[in-house]
Chains A and B, each alone.
Chain A
Amino acid sequence: MNKPRFLKKGDVILVVAVAVALLLFWGVSRFLYPPAENGVAEITVNGKPHGTYRLDKEVSFTVQDENGGYNRVEIKNGEVRIADADCPDRLCVRQGAISHKGETIVCLPHGLIITVCDGANGDVDFITG
């Protein structure tokens, strides 16, 4: 009778610890990646700029790489994600949506990188004149 009770207590501690750790991770990632103001998604393929897209405009398009591979990019609700891709690992698709300044989605097989950046006005603290 003693043993299960002891385990139960340990479980509780573990759950609390994990919860704290998760909360912490969430807090730190929020701190490291503040929401981008007038955010844009900058897309490069093999290091070359492919395009910059506003996150506040809903759009879906396909980025083709030199070997015929594709990534379908979707921008919706201020977030960008790769909705579909024919890369072997599909890690980029699994990564989900990003929206905070400095966050990236990488498709290694296709050499594609999406980075969330501040938009034209977002990087300016104040306008004077």
Chain B
Amino acid sequence: MKRIVVALSLCFCLIFSLLLPGCGNTLTRYQYTYLDVFDTATTLVVYAPSQSRADEWAKALHARLSEFHWLYTIYESEAGLNNLKTVNDSAGTPVTVDEEIVSLLKLGKEAHTLTGGKVNIAMGSVLSLWHQARTDGIDHPETAALPERSALQKAKQYTDITTLTIDETALTVELSDPESKLDVGAIAKGFAAREVAAFAKKLGISSALISVGGNVVAVGGRPDNTPFVIGIEDPSGEQSYLFTVKVRDLAVVTSGNYQRYYTVDGVRYHHLIDPDTLYPAEYMTSVSVIGPDSGLADALSTALFLLPPEEGKALIKKVAGYEAVWILKDGSRLYSDNFEQYTTS
């Protein structure tokens, strides 16, 4: 009798100790939102074994994002740091910069070639006019105005990407034309999200979502090993999302005309400016790109937004591993050839 009891309890203990690590591994979802980086809302979803671990992870990821913010901003200076504002202000002289700036600007040059100039990080002179008009228009809606057409056309003369030289070994960058200005808005958020996702893996995070503006990067999948399910927002606001995509270790980047805009005489003008027309592109409501590198996906989503859908389809076809979905103004959708592998409904 005694032996049976002891044996029985030993059994339970054994089963218990075998299952305990399984239970200990149960990950809980923790979510954090920040408003202080990249002039947009950043959300981190991390699956962690405890609140304290989640807080610690989120703090580290946010700190890393903040570093990228300060490196890539063209509006603010940071003491002791050569950032892109420094590069813009020092046109004509080489500036010593961090590796992260060199990598980003290299991506910018590659994206320019790939997209036939639709993504142009040397378009700061044009974009700064729109930025100023939009900021003024939002602050003072009654006097909201478009930038002067002549000013835009004059600024267009200083958007030649070849005026940007990058020395990878010396880690210096230079704008040769004093009138040229960098604006990395089309690629910086995606690039930073990619780097922060890689950093998350280094920290030991196996399951997380990093969202910077319209850029979402999935770190792994859900803790139960199924892919993350990402809803693509309904621009009309009627539903919370239009449809869902399933992703694991992939980026989903959306460019839409509702993300950042201002209103002049009752007409909405969004932030995605076509480098050829110098005005917001009006081919669609939004376009989302799925692919492994959120920096490239960010560049592609910008380019696709600025191209007629048929031309965009031809472009995305050339880039292996990337798929896109277009939401047209009548609400209908277009998909790239192999997009359906990600759709769930």
Contact = CB atoms under 8 A, between A and B. Distances in A.
Interface stretch (B89-97, B142-150, B226-234): B226-234
Given A10-B1, A123-B229, A128 B254 contact: yes
Given A24-B19, A31-B26, A125 B230 contact: yes
A42 to B, nearest CB: 15
Which of A21, A28, A123, A127 gathers most chain B CB within 10 Å? A127
B230 A24 contact: no
Contacts, number: 80
A27 B13 CA distance: 15
A129 B1 contact: no
Given A31-B26, A126-B45, A6 B2 contact: yes
Interface in A22-78: 24, 27-28, 31
B12 A10 contact: no
Interface string B210-223: 01001010000010
A129 B5 contact: no
B19 to A, nearest CB: 7
Contacts of B216: 126, 128
Given A13-B5, A14-B5, A21-B12, A129 B233 contact: yes
Contacts of B214: 128-129
B288 to A, nearest CB: 8
Interface residues of B, number: 39
Contacts of A123: 229, 244
Contacts of A21: 12
B9 A127 contact: no
A8 to B, nearest CB: 12
A32 to B, nearest CB: 10
A121 interface: yes
Which of B16, B222, B286 gathers most chain A CB within 10 Å? B16
A108 interface: no
Interface of A is mostly: helix
B19 A127 contact: no
Interface in A86-129: 121, 123-129
A20 B12 contact: yes
12 contacts: A10-B2, A20-B13, A24-B12, A27-B23, A125-B230, A127-B230, A127-B231, A127-B233, A128-B216, A128-B233, A129-B235, A129-B286
Interface of A: 6, 10, 13-14, 16-17, 20-21, 24, 27-28, 31, 121, 123-129
Given A13-B9, A24-B12, 20 more contacts: A10-B1, A13-B6, A24-B15, A28-B19, A31-B26, A121-B240, A126-B45, A126-B209, A126-B211, A126-B228, A126-B231, A127-B230, A127-B231, A127-B240, A128-B214, A128-B230, A128-B232, A129-B232, A129-B286, A129-B288
Interface of B: 1-2, 5-6, 8-9, 12-13, 15-16, 19, 22-23, 26, 43, 45, 209, 211, 214, 216, 222, 228-235, 240-241, 244, 252, 254, 256, 258-259, 286, 288
